[in-house]
Structure 1
Amino acid sequence: MSLLEVKQVNFSYNSKNFFKGKVQTNNILNEISFVIEEGKCLGLIGTSGAGKSTLGKVILGIQRPQQGKVLFQGYDIYNLNKAIKQKIRRDLQVVFQDSNSAVNPRMTAEQIISEPLENFEKLSIGEKRRMVIELLERVGLSERDLKKYPHQFSGGQLQRINIARAIALQPKLIVLDESVSSLDMVTQSLILQLLSDLKDDFGLSYLFITHDIKAAFSISDQIGVLEKGELIELYDSKDQFFSSKHPIVKRLRESILAEHPRFRTISTKVNWV
């Protein structure tokens, strides 16, 4: 049984044209289908407005699709009883792009990481503190950071806090929604390596939503290309992606920049992370 199965998902919303007095239907996702197996990462690439984040919200149960199903561990996430819904919430976590807006600025790192533990575990104060320290250390921080507030961390450090919170319950799947795109290249590389290590150590599965092709290939086992709400193609290797003749994929390849600004002419020959 696949961990996550998205079956022919369609999502749209209505907007009113005030000049013409008509309601228009905007199709965001069209017949989206794919599978993520346990311990695997699907990288979902697309330009702004392709529908990537909307798809992430559909999978997380935030936006209900008009048609289609999202099956997680065999359960339809939009048709669950209370007990199964609690299990799904535990096993399905998310790390968003904006690390600042994802946390309460009045909470310490200890309180932020403790949230899921308090919601799902029955731990003593000492046990909870030990777990939080272990999680901090696992993401490259330390016990000295327990009492710090979000404004006292850099963007990369705060994203590590968000990752620590996401893995606190050892979930089955984490949706990473542009989770490294706002970071500088050095920090991005470190976070990607951290995510890769955690994937191996905990057997995690990821849906890695990004517009960054290099970042996607550094962590993903399979790549999907989303364009105007449609899943264009799925690739099992870098070679498949670079040999594809699909015009959308060719345009994405041509958008890759060389590492050094001096060599930033359009090129498909790059050094991968």
Structure 2
Amino acid sequence: MSLLQVKQVNHSYHSKKFFNWKDQSNNVLHDISFTIEEGTCLGLIGTSGAGKSTLGKVILGIQPPEQGQILFQGHDIYRSDKMTQRNIRRNLQVVFQDSYSSVNPRLTAEQIISEPLENYEKLTIAEQRSLVISLLERVGLSEKDLNKYPNQFSGGQLQRINIARAIALKPKLIVLDESVSSLDMVTQSLILELLKELKEDYGLSYLFITHNIKAAFSISDRLGVLEKGELIELYDSKDEFFYSKNPVILQLRDSILAEHPRFRSITRRENFA
């Protein structure tokens, strides 16, 4: 049984225009289906307006789809009993793009990381503090950062705190929604390396939602392409993606440049390294 199953998901947004009382329907997702296996990362690539954010909300249980199912460990996340839904929330975590808006600015790093532990674990104050310190160290920070507030961290450091919070309960799946897009190139590389290490160490699975093809290529085991609300391609390997003849994929690939101008040939596979 797959860890996550997305089955024929459809979703539209409805609105009424002024002086026009007929519903205006905007079809955002159309017949989306895919699976994620334990210990793997699916990179879901799409340009702005492709439906990535809506799909992420549907999978996280925030936005019920008009049609289709989201099954997590075989359970429908929208039709399960309260106990099952609580277990799903524990094992399905998220790291968003904006590290600053993802946290309460009045909480310290220790309090931010402790939030899920307080909701799901019964630890003593000493046990919880010790665990938070170990999580900080695991993401490249230290005990001296415990009492700092969000405005005292860089964007990359704060994203590490968000990652520490996401892995605190040792979840099965983390949805990474444009989680490195707002960071500079160097910090992006460091965060991606951290995510790859955590995936191996904790046996995590990821859904990596992004418009950044190089980032997706770096971290993913499989790749999917979302275009105008449709999953137009799903590749079981990165080589399949690279050699695809789909016009949309060709256009996406051709937009990737090498780090150094000398190697900026759109046909070079090294541009994705």
Tell me if both proteins adopt one fold, taking TM over 0.5 as the criterion.
yes
Q: Cα–Cα, structure 1 residues 240 and 22, in superposed 2: closer, same or farther, change >3 Å?
A: same
Once the 2 structures are TM-superposed, how far is the Cα of residue 177 of structure 1 from its aligned partner? 0.1
Q: Distance in 2 between matches of 1:266 and 1:137?
A: 40
Identity among equivalent pairs (%): 75
Unaligned runs of 5+ in 1: none
**TM-score with structure 1 setting the length:** 0.97
Q: Find the counterpart in structure 2 of residue 205 from structure 1.
A: 205
Q: Find the counterpart in structure 1 of residue 90 from structure 2.
A: 90
Q: Distance in 2 between matches of 1:239 and 1:107?
A: 44
Q: Find the counterpart in structure 1 of residue 119 from structure 2.
A: 119
Q: Is the 8 A contact 1:3 1:72 kept in 2?
A: yes
Q: Distance in 2 between matches of 1:41 and 1:239?
A: 15
Classify the secondary structure of the residue corresponding to 2:271. Answer: coil
Structure 1 residues 231-270: aligned runs within 5 Å: 231-260=231-260, 262=261, 267-269=266-268, 270=270
Unaligned runs of 5+ in 2: none
Aligned residue type for 2:52:
K
Q: Find the counterpart in structure 1 of residue 152 from structure 2.
A: 152
Classify the secondary structure of the residue corresponding to 1:192. Answer: helix
Deviations 1:105-125 (A, max 9, x none): 000000000000000000000
Q: Distance in 2 between matches of 1:28 and 1:160?
A: 31
Once the 2 structures are TM-superposed, how far is the Cα of residue 19 of structure 1 from its aligned partner? 5.0
Q: Find the counterpart in structure 2 of residue 30 from structure 1.
A: 30
Q: Find the counterpart in structure 2 of residue 15 from structure 1.
A: 15
Deviations 1:50-100 (A, max 9, x none): 001110110000000000000000000000111111100100000000000
Aligned residue type for 1:151:
N
Q: Find the counterpart in structure 1 of residue 64 from structure 2.
A: 64
Q: Find the counterpart in structure 1 of residue 100 from structure 2.
A: 100
Q: Distance in 1 between matches of 2:267 and 2:258?
A: 9
Once the 2 structures are TM-superposed, how far is the Cα of residue 15 of structure 1 from its aligned partner? 1.5
Q: Is the 8 A contact 1:109 1:150 kept in 2?
A: yes
Aligned residue type for 2:272:
W
Q: Find the counterpart in structure 1 of residue 48 from structure 2.
A: 48
Q: Distance in 2 between matches of 1:146 and 1:35?
A: 38
Classify the secondary structure of the residue corresponding to 1:271. Answer: helix
Once the 2 structures are TM-superposed, how far is the Cα of residue 17 of structure 1 from its aligned partner? 1.9
Q: Is the 8 A contact 1:96 1:102 kept in 2?
A: yes
Once the 2 structures are TM-superposed, how far is the Cα of residue 272 of structure 1 from its aligned partner? 3.2
Q: Find the counterpart in structure 2 of residue 230 from structure 1.
A: 230
Aligned residue type for 1:69:
Q
Once the 2 structures are TM-superposed, how far is the Cα of residue 271 of structure 1 from its aligned partner? 3.4
Q: Find the counterpart in structure 2 of residue 81 from structure 1.
A: 81
Q: Is the 8 A contact 1:256 1:268 kept in 2?
A: no
Q: Is the 8 A contact 1:255 1:266 kept in 2?
A: no
For the aligned residue pairs, the C-alpha RMSD in angstroms reads 1.3
The question of 1:180 aligning with 2:180 is answered: yes
Once the 2 structures are TM-superposed, how far is the Cα of residue 16 of structure 1 from its aligned partner? 1.5
Q: Distance in 2 between matches of 1:19 and 1:32?
A: 34
Q: Distance in 1 between matches of 2:140 and 2:196?
A: 14
Q: Find the counterpart in structure 2 of residue 215 from structure 1.
A: 215
